[in-house]
Structure 1
Amino acid sequence: MTKKKENIFDFVLFKRLFEYIKPYKGVFFGLLLLVVLLAVFSAATPYITKYAIDDSIAARASKGFLFYILLMLGVLVLQTIFQLLFIYYAAWLGQNLVMDVRVKLFNHLLRFKMKYYDNSSVGVLITRSVTDMERIADIFGQGLFMIFRDLLTMIVVFGVMVYINWRLSLIVFVMLPILLYATRIFQKYMKRAFEEVRNEVSNLNSFVQERITGMKILQLFTREDLEYKKFKEINERHKKGWVKTVWYNSIFFPLADLVSSVSIGLVAWYGGLSVVLDGIVSQGDLIAFIMFIPMLFRPLRQIADKFNTLQMGMVAATRVFKVIDTTSQIDDTGTHVADHFKGNIQFDNIHFSYVEDEVVLKGVSFKVNAGDTVAIVGATGAGKSTIINLLNRFYEINDGAILVDGINIKDVTLPSLRTQIAVVLQDVFLFADTILNNITLNNPEITEEDVFQAAKDIGIHDFIMSLPNGYNYNVKERGVMLSSGQRQLISFLRAYVTNPSILVLDEATSSVDSYSEQLIQNATDKITKGRTSIVIAHRLATVKKADKIIVMDAGKIVEQGTHDELLKKENGYYKNLYEVQFLQEETIV
């Protein structure tokens, strides 16, 4: 089995990146012009020096010497100006390009199925969206154009050297293949090293992000020492990856300096003898070549250095485009725009699995009449939350159909479907922002007056106003400044203020204080009144008030009916659940 040849530069990937340059093609071609000018002006200084020495210093004549000095000064001034413009606009182009790629990536991430996030590391996605993006910017700001400039400088210098003296050029060019070969080997190994580094950076980000998020659990179970050891192991692998790049650099760059120094020595030896003995080489030629040699070898050395930057950028781009190329979106092929639902819901023989061959729902069928409240009860893992996920099309069903007002939800446009269905989840997520912005989610159609009135309607306006700065209180990351009950109240208001046609509640009040629980219960009564509601019930009060109770077990509906109807079934699942769980609650109350 033959090993696939490893390319040190991915032209297909670069071609794809080049598509993002099109909006800035004026700047791109301007940079190419600057590359040409910089290469020409770089070679001009030694060339002018040659004639200044031969025509004035060696000839012991002052005539024209001032002209050469002023000419050289003008070249240096223009070279400085062009260099400034080149550095600025190369970085400007890189940042604009990466801004466009980052926006496209984030827009793509916003539309992924929940299944994608179930199987993906948050730390890795953050690395792709932030760190890898900066490496892509470096492709243009510090890599590609720098390499073009150095290559063109070498070509121009090569031509001028041959034009001045081909004999001295031959000495230099004999040494050049050694450095070219070393450069190619260096680039090959550096690409492998940088791929390893990027992998370890992703692992490091994932590990740190998860541990910081779950710090309370780590400390509760005294896992600090164990996690510290794991972090040291990951950090060690990351360090080893970087040490490889340092090792390759420490070999290549001294070798490049050695070849350059040997070339200067050989030119000085041969050229010096020629100046003294036969005059084949002029003093100006010798000085010019001593100036030219670093200009020929230094760009090659810099190309290798910039190629490191380019390789890191290309590796990062590969990872970013892998996410962009991922097709994990819900197919939004619906044509019906739902302005409002009456609220009739029907689940028709639904089969679903999160993981292939691990069925979660097994032929689930039920109906909800408009305006009714349906409670779903059952043991953990019975499939209750899955029903919520499917109604909002967070996941695609394997078989069956979900209808709202007789219309298959696949025929409804995804934005309009989700706009008409509000969800209050058990795990409330709040952004590091004000309470007002967490309620409106920056929706310009929801005014402050709407929020105030909605808060008063469900009885939590006074609670919010009791907080520092009221509705402008910043709850910090994930709402840590609020209790679980307070976060739950905010989520109720967030759902209510959108005036949805259908409401889905994962009513989690098991860990809240009695005051917050009473507020939540009142809010539940208000928010569900006259509105089709599906409630995953955790409290007896909600279950008893429901127009229908759906009892689930192991992915199937085992019983349906009202509270009183289900209690009449001898050895019924709900009756047993009621006696074990809900009756204890009723006794306590």
Structure 2
Amino acid sequence: MSSTSHTSSRNGPGMPQHGVPTERSRDLRGALRRIASLLAPERRAIVLALLLSAASVALSALGPLLLGEATNVIVAGVTGAPADMTDTAASSPAIAIDFPLLARFLAAAVALYLFSALFGWAQAWLLNRITQRTTWRLRERVEAKLHRLPLAYFDTMPRGELLSRVTNDIDNLSQSLQQTFNQMLNSVLTLLGVGVMMFIVSVPLALLTLLVIPLVFAITRLIARRSKRLFTAQWALTGELNAQIEEAYSGHALVRVFGRWREVTRRFAQQNQQLYEASFGAQFLSGIVMPAMMFIGNLAYVVVAVAGGLMVAAGSITLGGVQAFIQYSRQFTQPLSQLGSLVNLVQSGAASAERVFELLDAQEQTPDPTVPAVPATHCGRLVFEHVRFRYQPDKPLIEDLTLTVEPGESIAIVGPSGSGKTTLVNLILRFYEIDQGRITLDGMDIRTMARAQLRRRTAMVLQDTWLFGGSIRANIAYGRPDATPAEILEAARATYVDAFVRRLPDGYDTVLDDEASSLSVGQRQLITIARAFLAQPSVLILDEATSSVDTRTELLLQKAMNALRAERTSFIIAHRLSTIRDADRIIVMEAGRIVEQGRHAELLAAGGSYARLYAAQFAGQQE
């Protein structure tokens, strides 16, 4: 009996898991050092787990020795020989078995195994607690890190890749820690404990058993080297197959409309076949590790049994000693095979850890001032003073931009794609930091303000309507969780949300799914406008808020936005020039510069860039 825990075939180190990264660690030692630093707060618990594991292994290792002594008692009673078979003196024939002594040996063995199991259970519980607390702290660090990262990081990192690091990689690291920590600790201690007991029982047999160690590692290394390529191919093909399925599912209507379902089916069958071949090869090679180890163990068993029998015949060891040693030899090969099979799991966990550490090491946004400034007024006066900004140092975008926006003024920003319209409003919210110049809000440099305070004074309505799973009431109150039901109702009425919500069976308590699929695009957009209305911002940003709706819904949204813009400084980014005719001022941007500004009629009369944009759009509508 051994306290070493067994890993089931479903979750063993050789079995891949969905979402587990395939790449090997680039710097295994560095990754392991940083993982050790994650475990540092649990050092006392780790020491206690080590002691519990050592106690469990030590008690378990003594069990075969006691069972061997019990065997000697039985042999002595049956043959009439003394328990010590090495004594060649004459013995009296046919004496009875000493059952009281035999019972004491068996009771002691049962007690040893019982306490070994209890210590092993306590050690497993403690290691599980250590792993989960470490994972909990890591998730806390990652969550806090995400809030300190600049928008530029999220712009350059694919969303799926970021989510994979935050979820799959942390989960894989947690599972790797859970399995390797427990199995490696037990395996190493079992090797030491069993190895010591083997030398205590018989030095020649122990030396004979040690000969299997090079063979175990040679076979493990050979199989691991061959299976690594297949496992990598398996997970790469799994990713490609998942991407192909997601693409076909997302564009299911287009696939059907253009009659490409046969092509999609053919591609799926081809990739599925490749995945099958790679998976079969990887699982086959991984699956032969344990049979190979069992063969080596059985080979060692035969050698020990033959050599032990010869030694018993020669009188150099007792029959109980051989029995105990055979049990030890069985226990000795098992942790060797477990250690060999943990190599891939350690590599996988280290690779996941590196990906998480890359996220934690990403450059953060500049911290807020220790004592942030607070504007004395909340008028919404914005001034751009010689602002210069570039996404990349060698690619100019906004150069020497100066602009003053008075409180309550509505500014429409137009221009071709890539002219810097959205960048301008992102600078107001400090999603990006300017390179030169300054931007002031109510006379205060926004860089001297806390970001949270600055953004509480602003609200944004985007082209993409973001609603979360929850009630309509909660979605409207997202920007002001402390708003009263009367204030929510007032915002809904002012933005024409109340009209359609009252027709819903559950009204404002209607629960939306993550995509709010039960509402139309226009209704979802109205809710986002009501959310901004309730927030009562000093500065309002409308970024293509009506570009995805029909003309009739656009008129309703315009009325809602007019109510929202009342007595607020507002920036309106729009491609539909018909929606900005009533703006107090229209700014035309090209290549990060303001080339024209004025009212609608003035800019048309000037015959410049705005007039050309308007004429091109009008001509396109006429066609």
- State the TM bucket, normalised to the shorter chain: 0.7 to 0.9
| Residue identity matched to 1:572 | G
Matched with 1:19 is 37
> 2: CA distance between counterparts of 1:400 and 1:258?
75
Aligned pair count?
580
State whether residues 338 and 417 of structure 1, in contact with CA within 8 Å, keep that contact through their aligned partners in structure 2: no
Structure 1 residues 235 and 436: CA distance shift in structure 2, 3 A: farther
Whole-Å Cα distance in 1 between the matches of residues 359 and 392 of structure 2? Answer: 21
Among 486, 509, 529, the alignment partner of 2:546 is 509
Match of 2:465 in 1: 428
Alignment of 1:172-211 (within 5 A): 172-183=209-220
Structure 1 SS opposite 2:589 = strand
Secondary structure at the aligned position of 2:512 is classed as: coil
Shift of 1:390: 2.1
Matches within 5 A, 1:419-568: 419-441=456-478, 444-513=481-550, 515-539=552-576, 542-568=579-605
Who is 1:3 aligned against?
none
Deviation per residue, 1:282-306 (Å, 9 max, x gap): 1011111111111000111122233
Pairing 1:39–2:39 present: no
Residue among 115, 138, 141 paired with 1:104: 141
Match of 1:246 in 2: 283
| AA matched with 1:439 | I
SS of aligned partner of 1:329 = coil
Cα separation, partners in 2 of 1:439 and 1:9, compared to 1, 3 Å: same
Larger mean CA deviation between 304-313 and 280-289 belongs to 304-313
1:54 aligned residue:
72
Q: Is the 8 A contact 1:382 1:554 kept in 2?
A: yes
CA distance in structure 2 between the partners assigned to 1:214 and 1:333 by the alignment: 47
Alpha-carbon offset, residue 445 of structure 1? 2.8
Aligned-pair distance for 1:28? 2.8
User: Retained in 2: the 8 A contact 1:350–1:361?
Assistant: yes
Contact 1:136-1:317 within 8 A present in 2 as well: yes
Contact 2:69–2:320 (8 Å) recurs in 1:
yes
Cα distance in 1 for residues equivalent to 2:139 and 2:270 = 31
Please list every run of 5 or more consecutive structure 2 residues that lacks an aligned counterpart in the other structure.
1-23, 79-96
Output the CA distance in 1 between the equivalents of 2:517 and 2:365.
31
2:154 maps to 1:136: no
3-state secondary structure, aligned to 1:500:
coil
Contact 1:123–1:205 (CA under 8 A) maintained in structure 2: no
Kindly indicate whether residue 372 of structure 2 is the aligned counterpart of residue 344 of structure 1: no
CA distance in 2, matches of 1:101, 1:229: 43
C-alpha contact (below 8 Å) 2:201/2:321 kept by paired residues: yes
Cα displacement (A) at 1:482: 1.6
Cα gap change, 1:317 to 1:236, in 2 (>3 Å):
farther
8 A Cα contact 1:147 1:303, kept in partner: yes
Shift of residue 22, structure 1, vs aligned partner: 4.3
Conserved in 1, the CA contact under 8 Å of 2:241 and 2:272?
Answer: yes
Q: Is the 8 A contact 2:409 2:570 kept in 1?
A: yes
Alignment of 1:109-124 (within 5 A): 109-124=146-161
Q: Under a length normalisation based on structure 1, what TM-score does the superposition of the two structures give? A: 0.88
Stretch of structure 1 that moved more, 248-257 or 528-537: 248-257
Residue identity matched to 2:35: L
Pairing partner for 2:190 from 132, 144, 153: 153
Distance 1:553 1:195 in 2: 48
Structure-to-structure mapping, 1:276-291, within 5 angstroms: 276=313, 278-291=314-327
Distance in 1 (CA, whole Å) between partners of 2:274 and 2:386 is 51
Deviation (angstroms), 1:157: 0.7
Uncovered stretches (5+) of structure 1, i.e. residues with no partner: 1-5
Q: Which residue of structure 2 aligns with residue 327 of structure 1?
A: 363
Quick check: 2:541–2:572 contact (8 Å CA) kept in 1? yes
Which is worse superposed, 537-546 or 98-107? 537-546
Aligned to 2:345: 309
- Partner-residue secondary structure (3-state), 2:401: strand
Alignment of 1:387-402 (within 5 A): 387-402=424-439
Separation in 2, partners of 1:332, 1:214: 44
Structure 2 CA distance for aligned equivalents of residues 148 and 25 of structure 1? 15
User: Matched residue of 2:571: which SS?
Assistant: strand
Q: Give the CA deviation at 1:158.
A: 0.7
* Alpha carbons 1:121, 1:206 under 8 Å: kept: no
What is the aligned partner in structure 1 of residue 612 from structure 2?
Answer: 576
Shift of 1:549: 0.9
CA distance 1:199–1:129, shift in 2 (3 Å): farther
How big is the shift at 1:557? 1.7
CA offsets, 1:489-542, max 9 Å, x none? 111111111111100112433442455333311211111111111111345564
Checking the alignment, whether the CA contact within 8 Å between 1:334 and 1:412 is kept in structure 2 is no
SS at match of 2:511: coil
Choose 153-162 or 196-205, whichever is displaced more. 196-205
2:197 maps to 1:127: no
Q: Which moved more, 1:434-443 or 1:261-270?
A: 434-443
C-alpha distance in structure 1 between counterparts of 2:230 and 2:140, whole Å: 29
What amino acid is aligned across from residue 578 of structure 1 in structure 2?
Answer: Y
Does 467-476 or 292-301 show the bigger shift? 467-476
Query: What's the CA shift for 1:371?
Result: 1.2
- The one-character-per-residue Cα deviations of 1:71-112 (angstroms, maximum 9, x if unpaired) are 222222223333333333333332232222123223323443
